[in-house]
Structure 1
């Protein structure tokens, strides 16, 4: 494969010629280390830091530092370990019993107990609560208090990945405080039981934390070494990198891979990479939600899109770092993600043009391509591939939250984005979000909905595999949702910072320390 493929064009050229490192040496800053503060940069603003009410990876990361769930997933072994619950057992295939930890405090000093757990679970399981990702909680029937220090969780159906969901996407609210201040008040001044507590929440500029010195003993996240965190929202990759090089921030991630060498040339910085469970995608409006005349409602047009894009070139030349092209609409390690069940589409621009002609678009057509993906060269590469076969994609680069809102309203004919499955290693964390009839489903295929429901309604692994295999085959036959590549997270941070990385795309600042 050659880097000079014409369709890749400007995307590769722009990536290769990106922002250069400054030509002057900047003396390493000591102030933040001595102040025991870590300055973080995120590219997307989070309108609501409560993890239940945003579906952004940045929101999950922000919440993870301040909230705990009943259980915790060890980032190295993926083993489920105690957190707010010290013990649990399956009473039957749809019932989990938990013994709660005693002596835990919320950030306001109030005592954690079973009422908080029952309130949280029953609230998020209620469809009227309108959580951001309903598929994460659709399996829950409800919870009840079974003793002074115990609760029972009821499920609508057997859910083998229940403990993973509880570990990663079910932090526990303080019942009394949240009822007193209301959902809006809670989003502005949230509290949890995690190792850091919020000291400032600003939806436009960022958040600040302080170490919570009353974090419970034996807590799985431990007592943080760094006392304060400041997280700023910076809107674009170039500015973010400039801030790192100028030592106005200490940590960034998802930087342009072409800048890794530049960062590593700086004596006071380091860069590292780690493949994650995130999958980049194109979601095509097969259901016609954005308009009945949308060309994406035509199967041959969608198949032309799949043949038009050289995904392998994008993964290898732009993303790099071992990025792969998934054949199925899921991450390869997830249970149920059988790539052998997928229909494969080779890069074949001639076939793409022929399919467009058969569909009645011999002269191509104009269409909006929305994307929040950074670096922008990745979106531009997709745009160039589409234009090379006659699909004149007009690229509209948006902020993450704004595109998500438009997508959920059904306004997008073709959207480019990414999904990290909340780091849950089961296809139930990705496929229902795009194929089960919810706000992000642009297929609205009754057979897909039936298969997804069948796969998520039993603990029988063979039944689940058969259902998900059939769903994968249908999704790819119908060319609904095009997996582009896996993500490889690129981190840049101060060399004086000790910062471990993990494959679940969940930075843990409570494990960081200044050397």
Structure 2
């Protein structure tokens, strides 16, 4: 669920000064002229098999190509029919879906129950390697009842099941998927979505064309904009220049200081999101032979980091220091927890009492976070005697080391699929799976009970216990919640949403 680009090295002030000479008259924005939305990401989108993607970039593109059985209207919070025209719970562990007729895939194939059965029964297998187990491990099997009706048999009660079916589990054409698998879908993405991919240089450039046969009644509707071109442009200053000159219509994740300087030239929108930054501690790393295994060391590290100063310098806007391993906007994110104020002198005392008065060295991998933020954390820890060796990795590589228990600290961010429920974060990091580097059996039990309960009161009670213990034991150093700045062509109508999914199918021109 992560990704955040690095800042450009060049001065935005210098860039704007150099560009000013071309702004004596308004820029001619080309996107509207040829009905093509030109967008850019700083980070490369991953191959477009939704089940293997971690970063928002690839998932945004994928959601324009693919559809799920259901769809969540973020403006109302309502779950509505998509490829399924209706559904019902037929038992504690069964759901049945009546499928929509007349739906076409981009290759002309008809959508039927075979597509649902083939897709979901494939991605739930361990061999397939779905990136996040929480998204599919609640599915035991999927049965075809007739050509337009399927039953999902659940392996366990899961409070987030309907949320996951709302566009997070896309349906692939069964014949193409059976023949090519994940690699085939990434090479030639075929969906039923509002746009079809007509050209791609993987990781570099993607060209989409409005799918004129997108089914009637789709909650995504018929897009107003005909074409979309998305490019990877790692250097943010290049993005700013192209946005101001009219070569780009949409960019995002603009740092606060640079957003304020762009406001006089383009339309800048700022919006809160569900994503949070965190430093995860791994008491079990290297077989437990690490200072991080000591809870007082972890507590001291949190006291040592001036998180408010980091928020002020790098996040701004609506971002706030967090004390919990979740977003306060999420259901079940208990706020009455132990807190750790910035107090470097207390941190030194705690380290000395724990036997580390002379300090120690640790490696911290950071992924999908700007280097200056990681450097700020390391600098604060250095002041209390902790020498942090920073190791920047791509997210997938970083997670590999994290899961292999090869390092004691990991700095990244998590978006919970943009969903306001702790079921999409606590389970992933504290529920006993591959990303649980704590393996606290008591916390796991509380999280599992919360994830499987049908009554909100039971869920809240158990999540509260889990969050409180995670804070008490300082298993995480929660950092802050994110907001996102978007830079837009003034002619583009675009509505941001807290799940960080750009819904270009809802966009239009002024």
Instruction: Give deviations 1:433-463, integer Å, cap 9, x for gaps.
Output: 1112322222122222222222222213222
Alignment partner, residue 319 of structure 1 = 315
Deviation at 1:353, TM superposition (A): 1.2
Map 1:435-446 → 2, pairs under 5 A: 435-446=430-441
Is 1:486 aligned to residue 481 of structure 2?
yes
SS in 2 for 1:473: helix
How far apart are the structure 1 equivalents of 2:310 and 2:52?
A: 32
Alignment partner, residue 427 of structure 2 = 432
How far apart are the structure 2 equivalents of 1:173 and 1:25?
A: 50
Map 1:234-253 → 2, pairs under 5 A: 234-253=233-252
**Which range moves more in the overlay, 54-63 or 69-78?**
54-63
How far apart are the structure 1 equivalents of 2:200 and 2:417?
A: 22
Deviation at 1:363, TM superposition (A): 2.1
Map 1:386-401 → 2, pairs under 5 A: 386-401=381-396
Tell whether the 8 Å contact from 2:369 to 2:411 is kept in structure 1 after alignment. no
Is 1:211 aligned to residue 210 of structure 2?
yes
How far apart are the structure 2 equivalents of 1:405 and 1:247?
A: 40
Deviation at 1:132, TM superposition (A): 0.3
Alignment partner, residue 4 of structure 2 = none
Alignment partner, residue 3 of structure 1 = none
Alignment partner, residue 508 of structure 2 = 513
* Compared CA separation, residues 321 and 252, structure 1 to 2 (3 A): same
* Compared CA separation, residues 15 and 479, structure 1 to 2 (3 A): farther
How far apart are the structure 2 equivalents of 1:216 and 1:33?
A: 25
Tell whether the 8 Å contact from 2:157 to 2:453 is kept in structure 1 after alignment. yes
How far apart are the structure 2 equivalents of 1:239 and 1:400?
A: 24
**Which range moves more in the overlay, 279-288 or 291-300?**
291-300
Alignment partner, residue 462 of structure 1 = 457
SS in 2 for 1:456: helix
How far apart are the structure 2 equivalents of 1:36 and 1:254?
A: 24
SS in 1 for 2:283: coil
How far apart are the structure 2 equivalents of 1:47 and 1:16?
A: 25
Aligned residues: 498
Deviation at 1:351, TM superposition (A): 1.3
Alignment partner, residue 272 of structure 1 = 269
How far apart are the structure 2 equivalents of 1:418 and 1:274?
A: 17
**Which range moves more in the overlay, 202-211 or 172-181?**
202-211
Deviation at 1:258, TM superposition (A): 0.6
Tell whether the 8 Å contact from 1:139 to 1:159 is kept in structure 2 after alignment. yes
Tell whether the 8 Å contact from 2:429 to 2:436 is kept in structure 1 after alignment. yes
SS in 2 for 1:444: coil
Map 1:170-209 → 2, pairs under 5 A: 170-209=169-208
Alignment partner, residue 328 of structure 1 = 324
Q: Structure 1: give runs of 5+ residues left out of the alignment.
A: 1-13
Equivalent of 1:407 in 398, 402, 405: 402
How far apart are the structure 1 equivalents of 2:351 and 2:200?
A: 49
Deviation at 1:332, TM superposition (A): 1.4
Deviation at 1:292, TM superposition (A): 4.2
SS in 2 for 1:65: helix
Alignment partner, residue 378 of structure 1 = 373
Q: Structure 2: give runs of 5+ residues left out of the alignment.
A: 1-6
Is 1:307 aligned to residue 303 of structure 2?
yes
How far apart are the structure 1 equivalents of 2:420 and 2:461?
A: 18
* Compared CA separation, residues 122 and 354, structure 1 to 2 (3 A): same
* Compared CA separation, residues 372 and 348, structure 1 to 2 (3 A): same
Is 1:263 aligned to residue 262 of structure 2?
yes
**Which range moves more in the overlay, 278-287 or 140-149?**
140-149
SS in 1 for 2:243: helix
Is 1:284 aligned to residue 281 of structure 2?
yes
Alignment partner, residue 107 of structure 1 = 106
Is 1:451 aligned to residue 453 of structure 2?
no
Tell whether the 8 Å contact from 1:22 to 1:245 is kept in structure 2 after alignment. no
How far apart are the structure 2 equivalents of 1:242 and 1:355?
A: 49
Deviation at 1:245, TM superposition (A): 3.7
Tell whether the 8 Å contact from 1:498 to 1:512 is kept in structure 2 after alignment. yes
Q: What is the alpha-carbon root mean square deviation over aligned residues?
A: 2.1
Alignment partner, residue 22 of structure 1 = 16
SS in 2 for 1:377: helix
Is 1:136 aligned to residue 135 of structure 2?
yes
SS in 1 for 2:65: coil
Instruction: Give deviations 1:201-239, integer Å, cap 9, x for gaps.
Output: 333313221111110011111111222212222334444
* Compared CA separation, residues 124 and 379, structure 1 to 2 (3 A): same
Alignment partner, residue 118 of structure 1 = 117
Tell whether the 8 Å contact from 1:423 to 1:505 is kept in structure 2 after alignment. yes
Instruction: Give deviations 1:89-125, integer Å, cap 9, x for gaps.
Output: 1212322111111000111010001111122222222
Structure 2 length as normaliser, TM-score? 0.92
Instruction: Give deviations 1:304-353, integer Å, cap 9, x for gaps.
Output: 1111122233234421111122322111122221112x222111111111
* Compared CA separation, residues 386 and 245, structure 1 to 2 (3 A): farther
Alignment partner, residue 161 of structure 2 = 162
How far apart are the structure 1 equivalents of 2:233 and 2:407?
A: 25
How far apart are the structure 2 equivalents of 1:448 and 1:301?
A: 20
Deviation at 1:378, TM superposition (A): 2.3
* Compared CA separation, residues 442 and 270, structure 1 to 2 (3 A): same
